[in-house]
Structure 1
Amino acid sequence: MLIAGLDIGSNSCRYTLVHWQKNQGLRVVEQDLATTRLGKGMAGGILLPEAIERTVEAITGFVERARQKGAEKILGVATAAVREAANGQELLDRLVPLSAEITCIDGQREGWYSWLGAVQGLGLEKGDGVMVIDSGGGSTEFSWLEAGQLKAISLKIGAVRATEEKWSLAEIDDFLAKGIASIPVKPEKVILVGGTATTLGAMELQLEKYQPSLVHGLKLSAQQVAAWARRLRELNLEERKQLPGLQPARADIIPAGASILAAATHQLGTEQVWLSETDLLYGQIYIYIQEQLKYDEKGPVKWDFS
């Protein structure tokens, strides 16, 4: 069965098309990303018309591709930018004619989906002691298991938001410290997901062409994350655009994004993090298989673009 997943984020829209077969996990046959900056200029609390147009165009293109490939189901989630904007429903209404199941989810559900996508996508047998940090353009989610229950908090800090509002390092540290103080568990393993995290992996590997299978499951020390954050802050925009593994369209927001992850990992006291290519984009697909197809798929995600 071919299932398509869509993620409408504050910085970008993402698309994946997976082939699912019982006991064989998810096999990615196609994926893509469009930098639409939906959350740009949202200080006034509304989505800008041009940002809505960019997003509708990107999602329409992804849906058309999925249908041409034979997708039997198309799922989608909208996150921070849409749920916070006064006119977020306007964007969702524009997408109704596509006949795809696209919903706006709250921050807690975003964290749940990210946790499920990362833990199952990496093929981990147990999620005990695992914390997933999903830092996007407009928000950052922390999710974990507590007494067998999946818990999550969502903080209004992300790469686009922190860049546009010119947050200082001290402000990032203080804001995260207040949020992390409410987490009652100390993680044994920390998994980072989202565009900033996977970009750090691509830069560490110096990938001229992004290869998800190489980034997925990569381990970085907390010192490496902190070092990348320092280096990215020190380089100017044009210098950052020349770094292997960094998409030029992300070069303006990556210093803030990396600083958020460096501060979070430091405050949690973790010495090493895992990177996961799979997050809420895949979490929603696992949820669909479990709830609608009534099958508890435990297999990991693999890539096959042949």
Structure 2
Amino acid sequence: MSEKISRVAVIDIGTHSVLYLLAEKGKDGIVRALHQELRSPRLGKGFGKTKRISHKAILKTLPILNEYLTLSQKQNAHRVIAVATHALRVAENQWEVVKIFREATGLEVHILTEEEEARASYSGAMYGREISGPVCMIDIGGGSTEMVLGVNGQIDSLKSIPVGAVTLTEHWNGETEHKVLEIFKLHFNAMPVSSFARVLVGVGGTITTLAGLELGLATYDPNQVDGFWIEFSKIKNWYERLSSLPPEQRKALVALDPDRADILPAGLLILKTICTLGNFKKVLVSDRGLRFGIALQQFEVN
């Protein structure tokens, strides 16, 4: 008989950040996040132009993976799962990068499909939430934005849109706002978002950082961020304020996560656009997302 898995470490290799989650399933059957870490090597830097992960970005990422592996051992994780999202999913040298990661760390990195990423983000975001009726869940990442429509925890439809905070920042120009609006209009026409969902739930660094700013947090506190509602007017105000600031002032203001300061306006533009097209007046912030969803999957198969 195989050993029961009750403690799982998940490493999420994104376009901007590499994140760590230690989750545990208690005797009461409830899954809880015990520990989280975030580093921002920006694996997808310059990716929008070259379609390749740079050697420099790989070298910045490797010590983070080793750090997380060591941490998982100290925390007695029964299993370590490493997943990758948009940047590795579409990179021309994806398998070369995966091989380097495996040979340098021993990690077998699973590159998530668009559907796998969207489903895991949705299950993580919705876990333990009592929301009746249709919901639109969004996960604004560095390289893509996942949108899922669901009812009472069951998925109705999903979409992965290849526009994220990093890729959008690297292509920013005077036409950006109009182009983002047109891109998301196409996807909204393909999904009945405004007629289907009345509640918007958001996960990802853009939204959690915004919640921290709105709450005035000096250090990130998931207990305060999770379940916090942000009004559309606040989203719009923060977008306009941050977009108008020079880089150093913006970085000082976003002291909670200074490595995200340069891409935060792009992430907020995506959020603002979704709220506008879907006629959402506010967004419910979830600290749980992709990593938590991956952990839930591991507990389900054991």
Q: Is the 8 A contact 2:254 2:261 kept in 1?
A: no
Q: Is the 8 A contact 2:58 2:97 kept in 1?
A: yes
Letter of the 2:112 counterpart: I
Can you list the C-alpha shifts for 1:243-272, whole angstroms capped at 9, x where unaligned? 155411111111111111111111111112
Separation in 2 of the partners of 1:114 and 1:247?
Answer: 21
Separation in 2 of the partners of 1:77 and 1:219?
Answer: 29
Q: Does residue 174 in structure 1 map to residue 182 in structure 2?
A: yes
1:192 maps to 202
Report the 3-state secondary structure (helix = DSSP H, G, I; strand = E; otherwise coil) of the residue aligned with 1:274.
Answer: strand
Separation in 2 of the partners of 1:27 and 1:223?
Answer: 32
Q: Is the 8 A contact 2:23 2:292 kept in 1?
A: no
Structure 1 residues 224 and 39, CA, compared in 2 at 3 Å: closer, same or farther?
same
2:26 maps to 21
Q: Does residue 90 in structure 1 map to residue 96 in structure 2?
A: yes
Report the Cα offset of residue 63 of structure 1: 1.1
1:105 maps to 112
Can you list the C-alpha shifts for 1:79-103, whole angstroms capped at 9, x where unaligned? 0000110111122112325444530
Q: Any residues of structure 2 matched to 1:258-297 within 5 Å, and which?
A: 258-290=268-300, 292-293=301-302
Separation in 2 of the partners of 1:216 and 1:23?
Answer: 22
Q: Is the 8 A contact 2:201 2:285 kept in 1?
A: yes
Letter of the 2:170 counterpart: E
Q: Does residue 39 in structure 1 map to residue 53 in structure 2?
A: no
Instruction: Give the number of aligned pairs.
Output: 290
Q: Does residue 51 in structure 1 map to residue 57 in structure 2?
A: yes
Q: Is the 8 A contact 1:127 1:145 kept in 2?
A: no
Report the 3-state secondary structure (helix = DSSP H, G, I; strand = E; otherwise coil) of the residue aligned with 1:118.
Answer: helix
For residue 251 of structure 2, the aligned residue among 241, 255, 260 is 241
Report the Cα offset of residue 146 of structure 1: 6.7
Q: Does residue 10 in structure 1 map to residue 18 in structure 2?
A: no
Report the Cα offset of residue 49 of structure 1: 0.4
Structure 1 residues 130 and 93, CA, compared in 2 at 3 Å: closer, same or farther?
same
TM-score, normalised to structure 2, is 0.91
2:216 maps to 206
2:162 maps to 156
Unaligned runs of 5+ in 1: 294-306
Unaligned runs of 5+ in 2: 1-5
Report the 3-state secondary structure (helix = DSSP H, G, I; strand = E; otherwise coil) of the residue aligned with 2:53.
Answer: coil
Separation in 1 of the partners of 2:57 and 2:158?
Answer: 29
Separation in 1 of the partners of 2:270 and 2:254?
Answer: 21
Q: Does residue 141 in structure 1 map to residue 151 in structure 2?
A: no
Q: Does residue 115 in structure 1 map to residue 125 in structure 2?
A: no
With 249-258 and 96-105 compared, the bigger mean Cα shift is at 96-105
Q: Is the 8 A contact 2:137 2:149 kept in 1?
A: yes
Separation in 1 of the partners of 2:254 and 2:85?
Answer: 29
Q: Percent identity?
A: 31
Letter of the 1:170 counterpart: H
Structure 1 residues 244 and 160, CA, compared in 2 at 3 Å: closer, same or farther?
closer
Q: Is the 8 A contact 2:147 2:160 kept in 1?
A: yes
- Which gives a bigger RCO, structure 1 or 2 (Cα 8 Å, sep 6+)? 1
Can you list the C-alpha shifts for 1:246-300, whole angstroms capped at 9, x where unaligned? 411111111111111111111111112100111011101111111x11xxxxxxx
Separation in 1 of the partners of 2:218 and 2:66?
Answer: 28
Can you list the C-alpha shifts for 1:44-100, whole angstroms capped at 9, x where unaligned? 111000111112221121011101221101112100000110111122112325444
Report the Cα offset of residue 149 of structure 1: 4.0
1:228 maps to 238
Structure 1 residues 150 and 286, CA, compared in 2 at 3 Å: closer, same or farther?
farther
Can you list the C-alpha shifts for 1:119-170, whole angstroms capped at 9, x where unaligned? 00xx124574111100111000101227954421011111100111115211
Give the root-mean-square deviation of aligned CA atoms: 1.8
With 182-191 and 151-160 compared, the bigger mean Cα shift is at 182-191
With 176-185 and 252-261 compared, the bigger mean Cα shift is at 176-185
Separation in 1 of the partners of 2:155 and 2:294?
Answer: 18
